[in-house]
Chains A and B, each alone.
Chain A
Amino acid sequence: MSHMLEIDGLTKRFGSFTAVDGVSFTVDRGEVLGFLGPNGAGKTTAMRMVTGFLPPTAGRALVDGFDVTVDPIEVKRRIGFLPEGAPLYEDMTPIELLGFVADVRGLAGAAKREAIARAAVRINIESVMHQAIGTLSKGYKRRVGIAQAILHDPEILILDEPTDGLDPNQKHEVRRLINEMARDKVIVISTHLLEEVEVVCSRAIIIARGRIVADGTPVELESRSSYHNAVSIRLPRDRLAACRSCLEAIDGVVRIEVVSEGAPVAELVAFARDGQAIIDRVSEGLRRGDIRIEQIRVERGRLDEVFRNVTMAA
């Protein structure tokens, strides 16, 4: 079966610099793919190639079976794209801009009006439809950028840093919107906000120096963290030493790290060997040692640590 989005050996060189180096992956309907990587890793370049803005040096990108270098128009019809930084014609008003995008996308008459109204409501920009885009706040500009991307109800939505520069409420709104649209679309977002991946993405690809260094669901990626299945414990400070020696005796605990010692409450983390489940043994040991605690929690793993490990190692 053919994938909605199929990237195969995509490569881009600028002179002697290789920005994207043989990137391959596929995305199917219903997936929200988070494209992660440090700044300059090649996220934006990869997205520009998939959307037909940059011609690839090698490899290909297929959208619904169409090769972007062979049938760029067919590919662009199926994609809604928010470029990095949401560049917009600042002398236009949102309604003019959306009208222009609708014209180019072949929407006319009632279909055009409905598409604009729907996008405006969905993205909550109705109140600024007649103000020049140049005078709008960063958050509104970003939203107008997203509105033009979803205007034609595309099958594939590619958003380059959709929540960059938004306040927490606006971020929440955009994430809600992405989740809402996720069911029957392919959505690819690039971000360097790890919490975003956990909230909206069903899958994450981490790239560094132009190559894919990790690919999996957020849970899978988290399980690669040394924090995976670690147990963190909060307890009164005077019991810290006792707790520590108790934990050290437990099989499966490789390392104990004291996170904070500030009175009156201390916090420590017991790391599990190879990410095995140690919570039972830990709680058992604590009960047996009669060490009373205030809080105990199993860590899922930390994406930021995985991110650091895979991007620095590459």
Chain B
Amino acid sequence: MSSVLAVCRRELRAYFTTPLAYVFIVIFLALNGATTFYFGGLFDRGQADMQPMFAFHPWLYLFLIPAVAMRLWAEERKSGTLELLMTLPLSTTQAVFGKFLSAWAFTAIALALTFPTWLTVAYLGDPDNGVIVTSYFGSLLMAGAYLAIGGFVSAMTRNQVIAFVVGAAAIFLFMMSGLELVMSIFQGWAPRFVVDLVQSLSFLSHYDSVVRGVVDLRDLVFFLSVMGVFLFANVVMVDLKRGA
């Protein structure tokens, strides 16, 4: 556990010693504000809730999360520090968890900095704070699932640009699996259960229900499973790439 924390602390510090953290946070907050108030029309709705903000998170995360995840392994492989890390007494699983947790914690910090939106809503009206807390929770869960995918992709390459593009594409597929765009490809010919399966993999449908304030165990299990599967794949990929 202490090794996981050591890796996590180191990675978190690495985010903040490079401009990446500040660029990311500034752009995330700027886009978050723009989407919430301009496209989401928070003020025009006449409702004291934060739905306009959370509705856009899957789309912001689509290209911001791969930017956080892309360096996790690709950078270590490129600079050769992977050899330093993996000859320290820690398992690949510990290293994967440490890195994932640092990226997740970093995302949580960025997400927490959206609190002025909540202050605005709380000042103007009387929001349902339970729903807001659940929404934050859902947003963080989804970010974690995205990060697990991005981390896995990062372990496949030593090129961070490739890690970013492929990571974003993979996440996009997962998001889209619930929409007409993808569903219509399967509807009509595929058996019902395949259609259901594809739909059940959708980030958006699971996310929507959490953000509405309904914490369904199935949604929780879904996001945790995605993280689990991709973290496991990440461990396998790191060991695989090391052996070759």
Interface residues of A (CB under 8 A from B): 14, 48, 51-55, 72-74, 76-77, 79, 81, 83-85, 87-92, 96, 100-101, 103-106, 108, 132, 148
Partner of A73, one of B2, B10, B91: B91
Can you list 7 A-B contacts (CB < 8 A)? A72-B91, A76-B87, A87-B80, A87-B84, A89-B79, A100-B6, A148-B84
Looking at chain A's contact residues, the main secondary structure is: loop
- Whether B87 contacts A104 by the Cβ 8 Å rule is no
Chain B residues, Cβ within 8 Å of A72 = 91
B20 nearest CB across to chain A (Å): 10
Q: Which residue of B lies closest to A57 (CB)?
A: B243
- Is B129 part of the binding interface, using a Cβ–Cβ cutoff of 8 Å? no
- Whether B14 contacts A83 by the Cβ 8 Å rule is no
- Is B200 part of the binding interface, using a Cβ–Cβ cutoff of 8 Å? no
Partner of A87, one of B9, B17, B79: B79
- Is B86 part of the binding interface, using a Cβ–Cβ cutoff of 8 Å? yes
Q: Which residue of A lies closest to B243 (CB)?
A: A55
Question: What is the interface residue range for chain B against chain A?
Answer: 20 to 34
Chain A residues, Cβ within 8 Å of B13 = 92, 96
Known contacts A91-B17, A100-B6, A83 near B84 by CB under 8 Å:
yes
Q: With the chains together, A79 CA to B84 CA distance in Å?
A: 12
Looking at chain B's contact residues, the main secondary structure is: helix
- Whether B87 contacts A79 by the Cβ 8 Å rule is yes
Q: Which residue of B lies closest to A14 (CB)?
A: B244
Chain A residues, Cβ within 8 Å of B88 = 76, 101, 104-105
Q: Which residue of B lies closest to A93 (CB)?
A: B17
Interface string of B2-19 (1 = CB under 8 A from A): 110111011001100110
Q: With the chains together, A55 CA to B87 CA distance in Å?
A: 12
Q: With the chains together, A132 CA to B14 CA distance in Å?
A: 12
A57 nearest CB across to chain B (Å): 9
A278 nearest CB across to chain B (Å): 50
Known contacts A92-B17, A104-B90, A87 near B83 by CB under 8 Å:
yes
A158 nearest CB across to chain B (Å): 9
Chain B residues, Cβ within 8 Å of A84 = 83
Known contacts A91-B18, A103-B9, A73 near B90 by CB under 8 Å:
yes
Q: With the chains together, A92 CA to B81 CA distance in Å?
A: 12
Q: Which residue of A lies closest to B94 (CB)?
A: A104
Q: Which residue of B lies closest to A101 (CB)?
A: B88
Partner of A104, one of B7, B79, B244: B7
- Beyond A81-B87, A87-B79, A96-B13, list 13 extra A-B contacts (CB 8 Å): A53-B86, A53-B87, A54-B243, A73-B90, A76-B88, A77-B89, A85-B80, A89-B10, A100-B6, A100-B9, A103-B6, A104-B7, A105-B89
Q: With the chains together, A105 CA to B13 CA distance in Å?
A: 19
Chain B residues, Cβ within 8 Å of A54 = 242-243
Q: Identify the interface centre among A48, A89, A132: most chain B CB within 10 Å of its CB.
A: A89
Partner of B83, one of A53, A92, A104: A53
Chain B residues, Cβ within 8 Å of A106 = 2-3, 89
- Whether B3 contacts A83 by the Cβ 8 Å rule is no
Partner of A83, one of B6, B83, B244: B83
Q: With the chains together, A72 CA to B88 CA distance in Å?
A: 10
Chain A residues, Cβ within 8 Å of B242 = 53-55
Q: Which residue of A lies closest to B88 (CB)?
A: A104
Chain B residues, Cβ within 8 Å of A73 = 89-91
Partner of A89, one of B81, B86, B244: B81
Interface string of B167-190 (1 = CB under 8 A from A): 000000000000000000000000
- Whether A83 contacts B87 by the Cβ 8 Å rule is yes
Interface string of B73-100 (1 = CB under 8 A from A): 0000001110110111111000000000
Q: With the chains together, A67 CA to B91 CA distance in Å?
A: 15
Q: With the chains together, A108 CA to B242 CA distance in Å?
A: 30
Chain B residues, Cβ within 8 Å of A74 = 89
Chain B residues, Cβ within 8 Å of A79 = 87
Q: With the chains together, A89 CA to B83 CA distance in Å?
A: 11
